[in-house]
Copies of this chain bind each other. A is one copy, B any other.
Amino acid sequence: VARPPVEELEAGAAFYSEIAPDLDVSHFGAMWHTFTVGHMVATDLDRVARRHGVSIADLHVLGTLRIERKERLRATDLALTLHVSNAALSARIAKLESKGLLIRAPSPADRRAFELQLTPAGAALAEAAIGDISRNAAFIRYFRRLTVADRAALGRIMGELHNLLDRDFVPAKRKDA
């Protein structure tokens, strides 16, 4: 606990490398830091979102719907984009609708589906919360301390991994799984 995470992790990698020489531990650092930093980012963003009365999961919905698109998003589209199950999204949408932050209207094209749209209150909340995040999230504070080259590299590399992983990610049902 006294040791910083990077030292802790290196000690662990050294230990496992010793008891299991066949084990490739070269990726441990990147994977573990990504796992943990991801968790800390989620916790921190949730803290900021709750100042505006919603969870980070709720804000993810609102922030995605805020972006203008050619076609309205349906619940299923959103579930795929946000990497959650339809069941989880149903509950979130019901909650946000009851709060007056979004409207769920039957799709004119498909009577099974619903199209989602923000109310003015939902749009305002999304913008305020996203502004709050960009000013106050811990990740962004520390991110700004990195060198220009490191910031660019991180964005590019994580983007590559995001694109690669996205294709075979299967939390809420996939096409080619």
Contact = CB atoms under 8 A, between A and B. Distances in A.
A173 B51 CA distance: 18
Given A67-B15, A157-B150, A134 B23 contact: yes
A140 interface: yes
A30 interface: yes
Interface of A: 1, 4-6, 8-9, 11-12, 15-16, 19-20, 22-31, 33-45, 63-64, 66-68, 77, 80-81, 83, 127, 130-131, 134, 137-140, 142-146, 150-151, 153-155, 157-166, 168-169, 171
A164 B137 contact: no
A28 B155 CA distance: 9
Contacts of A67: 11-12, 15-16
Contacts of A144: 27
A143 B81 contact: no
A159 B66 CA distance: 33
A150 B162 CA distance: 14
Contact of A137 (B6, B31, B161, B166): B31
A35 B31 contact: no
**The 4 residue pairs across chains A and B that have the minimum distance between CB atoms:** A38-B38, A33-B158, A30-B155, A29-B155
Nearest to A3: B81
A45 to B, nearest CB: 7
Nearest to A163: B4
A41 B16 CA distance: 21
B155 A154 contact: no
Contacts of A45: 35
